[in-house]
């Protein structure tokens, strides 16, 4: 996540014609390197040191202030940057907060069965009700897979990230996430397949 955010800043600065200061050439080089050897740390000591200086520079601070809402970057990037020196060393010693701020791109569909005691019928309290929950990935490239799960749906929970009002999509730097989610929500609500279903909107 840390390296991904660093790359996003470097790439976006270049796209906006704001090339990083030449003295940060090493940071740019290190963030562009693809490390395929899993035995080697992704965040090397050299990168952590170079990135720390890069992020403290006035050019980067100004860029993040004026252009933050015009390119994609993970919401938790301040956490990653503040903890680079702790995250980088191997063996890695995690903190509980790392699990909260870690982000993994979801792909495909995850099905989970939830067993709930039957509280509706006293005579059947010894039985459980099985709820089948299907979690579909929200990326544009994954949405075409949704159609096969639309049959026999009792309810839909539509989750919206409130931070999306001012952040860009991963797939499209020109589209605000909130606008995309609003458009998608209208499509779901307006789909005749779901005219008899309950739809829950969760603002996260």
Q: Is 137 annotated as a binding residue?
A: yes
Q: Is 106 annotated as a binding residue?
A: yes
Identify the burial level of 156 via C-beta atoms within 10 angstroms of its C-beta, where 0-12 means exposed, 13-18 middle and 19 or more buried: middle
In this structure, are residues 174 and 147 in contact, taking their beta carbons and an 8 Å threshold?
no
Buried b (16+ CB within 10 A) or exposed e, 32-49: eeeeeeeeebbbeeebbb
Q: Is 88 annotated as a binding residue?
A: no
Query: 29, 10, 32: which is closest to 20 by C-alpha?
Result: 10
What would the DSSP string read from start to end of 167-191?
-B-SS-TTSBHHHHHHHHHHHHHT-
Q: Is 65 annotated as a binding residue?
A: no
Could you tell me where the DSSP H helices lie in 57-199?
58-67, 77-82, 84-87, 96-101, 177-189
Binding residues: 106, 135-139
Binding residues for Mg(2+): 106
Binding residues for GTP: 135-139
């Amino acid at each position: 996540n840390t390296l991904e955010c660093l790359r996003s800043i470097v790439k976006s600065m270049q796209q906006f014609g704001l090339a990083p200061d030449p003295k940060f050439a090493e940071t740019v080089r290190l963030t562009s390197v693809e490390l395929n050897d899993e035995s080697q740390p992704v965040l090397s000591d050299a990168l952590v040191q170079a990135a720390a200086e890069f992020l403290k520079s006035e050019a980067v601070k100004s860029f993040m202030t004026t252009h933050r809402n015009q390119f994609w970057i993970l919401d938790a990037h301040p956490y990653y940057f503040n903890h680079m020196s702790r995250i980088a060393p191997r063996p890695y010693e995690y903190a509980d907060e790392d699990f909260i701020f870690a982000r993994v791109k979801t792909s495909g569909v995850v099905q989970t069965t939830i067993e709930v005691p039957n509280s509706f019928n006293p005579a059947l309290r010894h039985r459980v009700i099985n709820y089948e929950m299907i979690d579909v990935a929200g990326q544009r490239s994954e949405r075409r897979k949704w159609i096969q799960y639309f049959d026999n749906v009792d309810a839909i929970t539509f989750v919206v990230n409130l931070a999306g009002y001012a952040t860009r999509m991963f797939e499209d730097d020109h589209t605000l996430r909130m606008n995309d989610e609003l458009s998608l929500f209208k499509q779901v609500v307006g789909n005749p397949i779901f005219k008899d279903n309950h739809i829950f909107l969760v603002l996260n």
